Structure 1
Amino acid sequence: MKDRPLIEVAPHRRVVCLPPEATVRSACLGMRGAEATAVLVTDAEGRLLGIFTGRDAICRILAAGRDASTTTLGEVMTARVEALGPRNRAIEALHLMHDGGFRHVPVVDGGRVRGLVLRSDFRALERAQIEVEEEIFQVLR
């Protein structure tokens, strides 16, 4: 059970990947078409360069008054992306999301994108267990 790879968490999910030159508008259209909450920004070989989320669209584009038709993903993506490999366990992704305060973890193998794990992939009970562990950890400090 502990060898279960991350990629099995949601193998049906279509991951939206776009180059850094793509506009935010095209990213938003891609997210809408795929019913996705994020776009992985990749180079021509499929290597992960960054991530752009629906939350980024609101905070970095709409709220900032930027033009989504001319702003590129390379200008507004999060470039320092926490990623895991396909041999990592799903619970590691949940811990990473909890500790980092984000909702997406790309799965990368050999530098290339292989999938995307979302916080919503986990049941409420699993998320609650992480919170219990955090409380225990705080008490033990």
Structure 2
Amino acid sequence: MKDRPLIEVAPHRDVVCLLPTTTVQDACARMRGCGTSAALVTDEEGHLLGIFTGRDAICRVMAEARDAATTPIGEVMTAMVESLGPRDRAIDALHLMHDGGFRHVPVVENGRVRSLVLRSDFRAIERARIEYEEEIFEDLR
């Protein structure tokens, strides 16, 4: 379990990749059409620039009364995205999500997006391990 490569978690997922000039409205429509909660923001060559999620749409667009039809996702995306490689351990991605408080980790290889892993992709045993480790660290404090 702990040595499972990250690419095994979601090896064939179609990832929504959008340019930073895409409007929030278009991004949300594309995400809805694909049944995903996030889009990766990339340049023309597929290099990761950021991530745009449903949370971004609510917290950075709706809550700030911005116009979704004219606001580019490049202005409201999360730019400092942590990513891992396809051969990194799956448990490391789950640790990253847990510690960072987010639900998506892009998988990048040779500078280009390869996949996107969601917290829900992980097995219950892996999520239980994180909770167990957290309990141990809390007891040590």
Q: Give TM-score scaled by structure 2 length.
A: 0.94
State the alpha-carbon separation in 2 of the partners of residues 3 and 133 from structure 1: 16
Paired residues in the alignment total 141
State the alpha-carbon separation in 1 of the partners of residues 2 and 59 from structure 2: 37
State the alpha-carbon separation in 1 of the partners of residues 14 and 29 from structure 2: 14
Partner of 1:97: 97
AA aligned to 1:14 is D
1:14-44 CA-partner distances (Å, limit 9, x unpaired): 1000011111111101101110110100001
SS in 2 for 1:131: helix
**Superposed displacement of residue 87, structure 1:** 1.1
Do the aligned partners of 1:3 and 1:87 also contact (CA within 8 Å) in 2? no
Q: Does 1:70 align with 2:66?
A: no
Partner of 1:40: 40
Do the aligned partners of 1:48 and 1:111 also contact (CA within 8 Å) in 2? yes
Runs of 4 or more above 3 Å deviation: 1-4
Gaps of 5+ in 2: none
Q: Does 1:107 align with 2:119?
A: no
Do the aligned partners of 2:3 and 2:91 also contact (CA within 8 Å) in 1? no
Do the aligned partners of 2:3 and 2:90 also contact (CA within 8 Å) in 1? no
Instruction: Give me the identity figure in percent.
Output: 76
Root-mean-square deviation (CA), in Å? 1.4
Q: Give TM-score scaled by structure 1 length.
A: 0.94
Gaps of 5+ in 1: none
Partner of 2:49: 49
State the alpha-carbon separation in 2 of the partners of residues 131 and 15 from structure 1: 28
**Superposed displacement of residue 137, structure 1:** 1.5
